[in-house]
Amino acid sequence: MQPGLRRAGVVESPARGALLLFLLTIIMPISMELGGLRLSPTRLFLLVSIIPFAAQIVSGRVGRFTWTDKFFLLHGIWIFLALIMVHGTSRIPFAGITAVELVGGYFVGRVMIRNAQDYRYVLGFMLIAIICLLPVAIYENFTGTLVIPDLLRPIFDTPSRGDSAYGRMGLERVYVVFDHPILWGLFCSLTLSNFVMAVRKNPVLIVVAIGFSLYTTMLALSSAPLLACALQLGMLSWGWIMRGRWRLLLILMVVGYVTVDLLSNRTPVTIIIESLTFNPMSGWVRIAIFDAGWAAVRGSPFFGIGFNDWPRPGWVTSSVDNFWLLTSMRYGMVGVGFLIAAFVFHLWTLGQAKIADPEVQALRVGHAAALAGTAFTMVTVHIWGNVSIFVMFYLGAGSWMYAYDQSGPQQGPEPDGTAPPAGGSPYSRFAPQRQRGPAAGARSVMRRRDEGGRA
């Protein structure tokens, strides 16, 4: 970087080719089995990158080593330890690939997204990818045909339509390139607040952005992604009406949760699961799953039950539609605690970061609203595969806003040893001093003579 051009928040980007390759693997619906492990292009990318990326994070080469980084590292280590404690050494390869998948996505976002330009590049990729896949999604919505997976199935293992993805309202739920319609919906829902904040100065484009995100999300015909969109719209509306005041919103949410918990004979989580579903029967089943799953957590709170079966009524399926619950069942309260702490500390540190650039401030709001809406929605749905990796990547992709200084122009010498430009802050000891009077003038003349002699 040229002297004089370095400022807070401007950090050199890594090679865009590697980032593009990772993003392309997210929308590749292919995998193959090797040595008992199912490997996809995304998993292969993470296996190659996780060690060097972890080293960069711990060493501070990609900004300061944050508490979010630490909690993700602890989460990965605990996954490995918990699965070995439950299943023994025979499951070490599986434990390793599980830890790589859940933590590696965060590492990619943390290392490869270092400034606003990188972050906008990811948003641009999402926009282009969804636009290119939209004709396929619309066709599948009317016909139920999985176009891309069907074309690739003769060569690779690809997703197939399952019994749980039945049609609704005369339309079919779309997979497009993911393992379930819910995953397509969540991927599209992440765009809403980001796109709105990116075009926030143009009312027409705001309407277009909201309509685009809502329509593509609606194609999944799933209540969970639409709930994520509704939460994002609510947070954006609060931000515009109340001019921020996010602490007040957090206080009101906590007070509301406690009030509902005290006055109702149902827990707030139960009310959310029961009420915010297209099918009431599905809501009741999810409540039964939650009750049985939580009993399993209480029975094995430290290391969890791994991938073992769990006690439940005979009519309750083994599918757990709650990401946080299933994580606590598999890896115990400690394992899920590290991951929840990573999400909480990321959002908290993001909110506390001193950001001078209005454009970066807007990106922060869009990023935080999408992540908070998705994290809340994960109470009612499980995420896995490439979308779970992408959600963790998305969290890491926002870390640059506080891992690097965003507070304003840096003071002091540049890292390459050059002095700061003249006219720096008068409160810095490096600021040029004004000298007045004959003595100052004489010293100036003598300095020019000396410089002339040396020349």
Report whether 94 contacts 43 (CB < 8 A): no
Q: For 357-380, how does the pLDDT look when each residue is reduced to its tens digit (9 = 90+)?
A: 999 999 999 999 999 999 999 988
Report whether 97 contacts 37 (CB < 8 A): yes
Tell me 90's DSSP state.
G
With CA atoms as reference, report the closest residue to 179 among 43, 382, 397: 382
Tokens encoding 354: 């001193």
445's CB contacts (< 8 A; 6+ apart) are none
CA distances from 426 to 28, 357, 410, 429, 435 (A): 55, 22, 14, 8, 14
Q: What are phi and psi of 157, to 5 degrees?
A: -80, 130
DSSP string over 212-264: HHHHHHHTT--HHHHHHHHHHHHHHHHHHHHTS-HHHHHHHHHHHHHHHHHHS
pLDDT at residue 257 in the model:
77
446's CB contacts (< 8 A; 6+ apart) are none
What's the CA gap between 334 and 82, in Å, rounded? 10
Report whether 137 contacts 188 (CB < 8 A): no
Beta bridge partners of 39: 32
pLDDT at residue 435 in the model:
40
Residues of the chain where predicted confidence (pLDDT) is lower than 70? 1-10, 164-166, 269-283, 408-455
pLDDT at residue 174 in the model:
94
Burial call 301-318: b when 16+ CB within 10 Å, e when fewer = eebbbbeeebebeeebee
**What residue has token string 């079966």?**
309
DSSP string over 161-214: --TTS--BTTBPPP-TTSSSHHHHHHHHHTTHHHHHHHTTT-HHHHHHHHHHHH
pLDDT at residue 417 in the model:
37
What's the CA gap between 178 and 132, in Å, rounded? 15
Rounded to the nearest 5 percent, the helix, strand and coil shares of the chain are: 65, 5, 35
pLDDT at residue 75 in the model:
96
Q: Classify 409 as helix, strand or coil.
A: coil
Q: For 342-355, how does the pLDDT look when each residue is reduced to its tens digit (9 = 90+)?
A: 999 999 999 999 99
CA distances from 77 to 2, 73, 102, 188, 449 (A): 41, 6, 11, 31, 66
With CA atoms as reference, report the closest residue to 42 among 395, 367, 387: 387
Q: What is the largest CA-CA distance in the chain?
A: 98
Report whether 151 contacts 120 (CB < 8 A): no
Beta strands in 271-345, from DSSP E residues, in sequence order: none
Give the HSE-up count for residue 291: Cα atoms under 13 Å, Cβ half-sphere.
13
Q: What angle do CA 216, 16, 18 make, to 5 degrees?
A: 90
51's CB contacts (< 8 A; 6+ apart) are none
pLDDT at residue 1 in the model:
39
Report whether 159 contacts 179 (CB < 8 A): yes
Four-point Cα dihedral 348, 354, 359, 365, nearest 10: 20
With CA atoms as reference, report the closest residue to 230 among 218, 242, 220, 240: 218
**What residue has token string 């069907």?**
150
Report whether 286 contacts 321 (CB < 8 A): yes
With CA atoms as reference, report the closest residue to 372 among 347, 401, 338, 336: 347
Four-point Cα dihedral 136, 366, 214, 325, nearest 10: 90
